[in-house]
Structure 1
Amino acid sequence: MADFDLEALSLSELKKMQKDVAKAISTYQDRQKAEARAKLESLARDLGYSLAELVGTATKITRAPAAAKYRHPENAAVTWSGRGRKPQWFVDALAAGNTASDLAIG
């Protein structure tokens, strides 16, 4: 390994070296992970499995869209399910004196 006289380097040279070292560490870790993954996939294949079968795969759980519970007082095409952040029209309607039950569908 090369010996550096760090005291002789300027601040900008030291910062550049710091970035280069961080990048080298990151790419080294990525290469090591890829190599480990390849070894595990090969071993699983030799045993007659896929790696995904052995470790499971992460699947994203999605919920069905919620049915609308509230309708805009002036534009019936605009609705809200009651989930998540309140839409501005709902907040404005409440501030104008309406209640949630006034805006409820059915």
Structure 2
Amino acid sequence: MLAKDELKAMSRKELEKLLSDVQMALAAAKARDHREAKKAAAKAVAEFGFSLEDISESPSPTPKKAKAKKKAVKNPSKPVFANPEDKTQTWTGKGRQPNWYRNQVDSGTAPDAMRIAS
């Protein structure tokens, strides 16, 4: 093993050569570990009567696409109330009350008076 002082004393070329050697040694160690792991795996599956090819996962078939859910057609609600001053302003009676509706109620108009006759 090289000590830090030895590394500091090395030239850039020597360090690059050392790095190259270390990278080659790492690649060789990785290949060796891969071979040993494959042998161990083959031995383990052989105990169950299989080979590595038997248990290796083949590409799974593409999953079936879920059927697209049909969106329910939303029918807009019919207006229930109309502004007595401007009949183009309507409200279904659902959700937030429009300003004209609140103003009419505050001024004393009964909600039933604003109801659209059906």
Which TM-score applies when normalising by structure 1?
Answer: 0.49
Higher-Rg member (1/2): 2
Which TM-score applies when normalising by structure 2?
Answer: 0.45
